[in-house]
Amino acid sequence: CAKLIPPTGLYSVFMLATMVLAACSDDTTEPAVKRGMVLKANVEDTDTRATITDNEGKWKFAFATNDMVKVGNDQVTDYYTFKSNGTEFASADALQTTTPATWCAFFPGEKIDLANQSGDLADVANKYALAGATATPTTGSDGLTVTMKAKAAVLRIVGVNKDESLDINVKTADGYVSGLTAKKSSAGFSVETSDAKVSLLSKQGAGVYYVVVPAGVKISVYKGKELIKATKAGGLTAGKYYTLKTGDVDGEEDATIDGVVVKKKWVQLWPGGPKFAKENVVSKMTWTDATKTGDQYVWGANWCTPTKDEMTFVEEMTLNPLNTKAEIQVQNGVTGILYTGIQPGYTDKTLFLPAEKDKWGDYSANYLTSTIINQGHGSSLDFHISGISLNYYYFMNKAYTTEATKYLVRPVLAK
């Protein structure tokens, strides 16, 4: 075999793969036409199959064992299949040309079906379109060097509502996106479309999902028939990912207080999570009053008191993150706990639960939930802060028959 030519140069973080192919002799062919090639692919961060970099919005990729790359040239119609053994790609059938040709390589193949994606990172890695061509025409007798670049973008879909149906479909001016087809003439992919609707992702319920979509062409993203977002004429940038939420994660809602309708701000801190008011009910409440619903609720039918599960931001006692992270903070001279979202699309969303100063100079709070832990008792989220240290943080039983005992309430949207 000819000596394997090592790749040189640095590679883009979103995906540059330098492929070096060297021809091997086959005694069954004429010396001028050799069959069989090996292919070496190098990518940055090869320890990771597919990752994202939140601070840069770039998608990283690495080849894996058994990945397939299709290689062709402008003198043949078909493609040669190269398969990775973990360190290099190889094809026993790849044939040199008798005259110089432009060679192109495509991953994961010459056709990519984008319908019914699973929504996870592994599936993105299997459908992430890459393509490249030789810099100059060649027969391949001295090996081929092909630099592959990303030809697709990734949508990070954040389903915000607990029970929503996610039917994600994407349209171009020509119809519904169904796949990508290799183009040797441009070392890229053309977009395949359909007149009938094609679901790229079908999921039930809130969550974070990933979908490969075409880059460089204007697309409109739909949830069912509802338009979520449309790009500009140039479309999305290849090698980038874009976070797209299926609904609002903050806003305002009417509250009816003492017969007067006012606007109250709310925020959601994780996918499918409750939508918390940004302020407490002005006066403390008994558990009996706090668990009323509909028009009988203190803020009217649009609001209610959260359940214990809805108040589960972090682990009890430790404050280790679950749905959010938490830290002791002072806002406007008041000590309390600030919760910050940790999931994609929520890292800039916060909720502050203030505590009350006691006669010893410490701060404590008891926030009612609507959950009965033991029969005859309601429950509350209790915490106590001494200086900058957390003394305790846990859910506690509360007797809900005592009218003289009242606690703080932070409402959530009822719908």
pLDDT tens digit sequence for 207-258: 999 999 999 999 999 999 999 999 999 999 998 899 999 999 999 999 999 9
Query: What percentage of the chain exceeds 90 in pLDDT?
Result: 64
Short-list 258, 271, 283, 288, CA closest to 402 = 288
pLDDT confidence tier of residue 30, bands split at 50, 70 and 90: very low
Give the SS3 label for residue 310.
Answer: helix
Contact of 396 with 272, CB cutoff 8 Å: no
Is pLDDT above 50 for 48? Answer: no
Mean pLDDT of 171-175: 98
> Of 75-79, 225-229, 323-327, 360-364, where does mean pLDDT reach its minimum?
75-79
Report how far residue 210's alpha carbon sits from residue 52's, in angstroms, rounded to the nearest whole number. Answer: 11
Whether residue 26 has pLDDT greater than 50: no
Dihedral (CA of 369, 336, 321, 56) sign: positive
Phi, psi of 215 (to 5 degrees): -115, 155
| Mean local confidence (pLDDT), 323-348 | 96
Mean pLDDT along residues 390-398: 92
> At 295, phi and psi to the nearest 5?
-65, -15
pLDDT of 29 above 50: no
Amino acid, res. 130 = L
pLDDT in the model for residue 47: 40
Residue with tokens 């918390």: 276
pLDDT tens digits for range 305-328: 999 999 999 999 999 999 999 999
Indicate the pLDDT class of residue 384, thresholds 50, 70 and 90. Answer: very high
User: Is the model's pLDDT at 392 over the cut of 90?
Assistant: yes
Q: Is the pLDDT of residue 62 over 90?
A: no
Q: How far apart are CA 190 and CA 169, in angstroms?
A: 18
* Residues, the chain: 415
Report the predicted TM-score, pTM, of the whole model to 2 decimal places: 0.85
- Give the DSSP H or E segment for 362: none
At 132, the amino acid letter reads: G
Question: Beta strand pairing status for 220-223 and 165-172?
Answer: antiparallel
Is it the case that residue 187 has pLDDT exceeding 50? Answer: yes
pLDDT of amino acid 258: 95
CB count in 10 Å sphere of residue 238:
22
Band of the pLDDT at 398, cuts 50, 70, 90? confident
Question: Is residue 32 scored above 80 in pLDDT?
Answer: no
More confident site: 31 or 328:
328
- Whole-number percent of the chain with pLDDT over 70: 87
Question: Which tokens go with 285?
Answer: 């409440």
CB burial of residue 161 (10 Å; 0-12, 13-18, 19+): middle
Q: Closest Cα partner for 140 from 9, 18, 7, 25?
A: 25
Q: For residue 199, which phi and psi values (nearest 5 degrees)? A: -85, 120
pLDDT level of residue 34 (50, 70, 90 thresholds): confident
Q: What is the pLDDT of residue 51?
A: 60
Least confident of 244-248, 334-338, 388-392: 388-392
The pLDDT of residue 10: 31
